[in-house]
């Protein structure tokens, strides 16, 4: 039984103003084909999931319910009382699934990534499920096509080839020179943050490698699955106590860097981690002048090159400009040079102070 667990936390402030604390990027239509969360759920349909589980902040629960409804699949929302990184989110979901579907296989993935080739993605997930059946911790590694410094990497065991490679190690985001060496070696892959494993296996890994997390979650594990997903006041209070007592650690750092029986499946399916407005270009097709938009009816380009427009209703005209991004969401408008896309956080800080 296959259960996708979609991690939908985080406000994505680098994609302000479209992504903000009231409505993060996963609930916006950035590709022109549906919201990121809606697209994430729909591309999981070929693996025939029993249902989908979304782990995210309590204040986004209704938004998540609406996105599941669009897809026609069954779903459960597990609300987090506070963000405590991906290890907590995975253990929370595993505690729920262990009670509801004890023989399940979890596909863990972010809500806000873009994938161009959905068929290739589904094929890779099916390989991952087969591999997870044998007890492996499976990660999807994207074959890099340039030396990206904003992603973590997965190194395969030297000399290993094929569709399933044992993992040598996980490495942090490199500098440019190191990233170039990784790409040239052919043995390093971008860490997509997409994982496949048996619920029972990941629970045993938490018990072994993250005992403090495991002990903290025991009061939830002892409950029926309907109580684990409950939003009643007493259960919410318990969850708040659990989450406030644990360290904020990623699943990569807490489990995968230290576990055995780790496998990586190299993949090429047009993957993009939408962490900045410059990266958002990866999800849109360019015209003959390199201009892009997810809203053609609201975008006009005149004597402009390599510009991108994201509009949520207003008409935007870009004239005689190059290499800029214009974003409109509600009453907010952002205009930036693409090379400054990592500086959007400074704008968010100013907005919060005001």
Q: What are the tens digits of pLDDT across the range 53-112?
A: 999 999 999 999 999 999 999 999 999 999 999 999 999 999 999 999 999 999 999 998
Note the pLDDT of residue 158.
83
Match 């490698």 to its residue by tokens.
Answer: 209
Question: Cβ(323)–Cβ(337) under 8 Å?
Answer: yes
- Of 132, 150, 131, 153, the residue nearest 142 (C-alpha): 153
What are 210's two structure tokens? 């993250």
Question: Each residue of 36-46: b (16+ CB within 10 Å) or e?
Answer: bbbbbbbbbee
Note the pLDDT of residue 11.
65
Domain with CATH 3.90.550.10 in the chain: 2-273
Regions of the chain with pLDDT less than 50: none
What are 301's two structure tokens? 């380009």
Q: How far is CA 61 from CA 55, 77, 316, in A?
A: 9, 7, 32
> What does the alpha-carbon distance between residue 220 and residue 222 come to, in Å, rounded to a whole number?
5
- Backbone dihedral angles phi then psi of residue 135, each to the nearest 5 degrees: 100, 5
CA quadruple 70, 132, 99, 2: dihedral, nearest 10: 30
- Of 131, 101, 127, the residue nearest 5 (C-alpha): 101
Question: Cβ(21)–Cβ(349) under 8 Å?
Answer: no
The CATH number of the domain covering residues in 2-273: 3.90.550.10
- Predicted structure pTM score: 0.90
Residues in CB range of 71: below 8 A, 6 or more apart: 38, 41, 42, 45
Other beta carbons less than 10 A from residue 34's beta carbon: 16
pLDDT tens profile 321-346: 999 999 999 999 999 999 888 789 89
- Of 256, 259, 247, 258, the residue nearest 85 (C-alpha): 247
């Amino acid at each position: 039984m296959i259960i996708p667990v979609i991690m939908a936390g985080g406000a994505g402030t680098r994609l302000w103003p479209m992504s903000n604390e009231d409505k993060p990027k996963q609930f916006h239509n950035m590709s022109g084909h549906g919201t990121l969360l809606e697209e994430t759920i729909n591309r999981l349909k070929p693996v025939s999931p029993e249902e989908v589980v979304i782990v995210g902040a309590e204040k986004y629960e209704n938004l998540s319910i609406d996105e599941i409804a669009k897809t026609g699949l069954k779903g459960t929302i597990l609300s987090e009382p506070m963000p405590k990184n991906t290890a907590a989110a995975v253990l929370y979901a595993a505690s729920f699934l262990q009670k509801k579907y004890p023989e399940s296989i979890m596909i863990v993935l972010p809500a806000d990534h873009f994938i161009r080739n959905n068929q290739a993605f589904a094929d890779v997930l099916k390989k991952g499920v087969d591999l997870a059946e044998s007890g492996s911790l499976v990660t999807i590694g994207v074959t890099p096509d340039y030396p990206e410094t904003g992603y973590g990497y997965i190194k395969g065991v030297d000399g290993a080839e094929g569709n399933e490679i044992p993992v040598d190690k996980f490495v942090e985001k490199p500098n440019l020179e190191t990233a170039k060496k990784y790409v040239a070696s052919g043995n390093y892959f971008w860490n997509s943050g997409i994982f496949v494993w048996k619920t029972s296996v990941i629970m045993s890994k938490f018990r072994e490698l993250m005992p403090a997390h495991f002990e903290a979650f025991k009061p939830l594990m002892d409950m029926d699955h309907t109580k684990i997903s409950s939003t009643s006041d007493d259960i919410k209070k318990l969850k708040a106590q659990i989450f406030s007592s644990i360290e904020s650690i990623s699943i990569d750092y807490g489990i995968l860097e230290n576990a055995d029986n780790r496998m990586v499946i190299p993949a090429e399916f047009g993957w993009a981690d939408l962490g900045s407005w410059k990266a958002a270009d990866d999800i849109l097709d360019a015209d003959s002048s390199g201009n892009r938009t997810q809203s053609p009816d609201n975008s006009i380009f005149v004597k402009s090159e390599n510009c991108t427009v994201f509009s949520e209703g207003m008409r935007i005209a870009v004239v005689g400009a190059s290499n800029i991004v214009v974003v409109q969401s509600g009453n907010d408008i952002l205009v930036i040079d693409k090379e400054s896309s990592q500086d959007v956080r400074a704008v968010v800080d100013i907005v919060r102070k005001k």
